Amino acid sequence: MVAPPDNDVLWARALHFQHHDGSPALCGVSLGVREGEILAVSGPRGSGKTALLHCLSGLVRPQRGEVWCAGVPLHSLGPLRRERLRRRCFAWIDPAPVLVPELTVWENAALPMMLRGTPRRAARSTALEWLERLDVGDRARGLPRALHHAERQRVCIARALAVAPAVLFADEPTAPLHRADRAQVLRTLTTAARSHGITIVLATHDQETAAVADRTVPLLDGRPVDTVHLPPVPSAAATEGRAACSLSV
Q: Which residues bind ligand ATP (CB under 6 A)?
A: 19, 21, 23, 25, 43, 45-51, 203, 205
3-state secondary structure of 26: strand
Taking the complex as a whole, how short is the minimal distance between the CB of residue 87 and ligand ATP, in angstroms?
Answer: 23
Alpha carbons 37 and 214: distance in angstroms, whole number = 7
Neighbouring-strand partners of residue 11: 32, 68
Q: Can you tell me the distance from the alpha carbon of 239 to that of 220, in angstroms, rounded to the nearest whole number?
A: 27
Other residues' Cβ atoms within 10 Å of the Cβ of residue 243: 15
Rounded to whole angstroms, the Cα distance separating 192 from 30 reads 27
Q: How far is the CB of 182 from ligand ATP (least distance, A)?
A: 16
Residue 20 or 145 with smaller CB distance to ligand ATP: 20
Beta strands at 223-224 and 247-248: parallel, antiparallel or unpaired = unpaired
Q: Closer to ligand ATP at the Cβ: 35 or 94?
A: 94
CA-wise closest residue to 141 among 104, 96, 168, 95: 104
Minimum CB–partner distance for residue 133 and ligand ATP (Å): 27
Residue 88: how many other CB atoms lie within 10 Å: 11
Q: For residues 22 and 117, which CB has a smaller minimum distance to ligand ATP in the complex?
A: 22
> 187 or 223: whose CB is closer to ligand ATP?
223
Task: Report which residue type is found at 157.
Answer: I
Of the pair 28, 46, the CB lying nearest ligand ATP is at: 46
From the CB of 49, what's the least distance to ligand ATP, in Å?
4
Distance in Å, CB of 172 to ligand ATP, minimum: 7
Write down the least CB distance from residue 29 to ligand ATP, Å.
Answer: 11
Of 103 and 220, the one with the shorter C-beta distance to ligand ATP is: 220
What phi and psi, each to the nearest 5 degrees, are found at residue 199? -80, 135
| Residue 23 Cβ vs ligand ATP, minimum distance, rounded to whole Å | 4
Contact 105, 156 (CB under 8 A): no
Nearest to ligand ATP of 42, 190 (CB atom)? 42
Pair 58, 222: CB distance under 8 Å: no
Residue 135 CA to residue 125 CA, distance in Å, equals 15
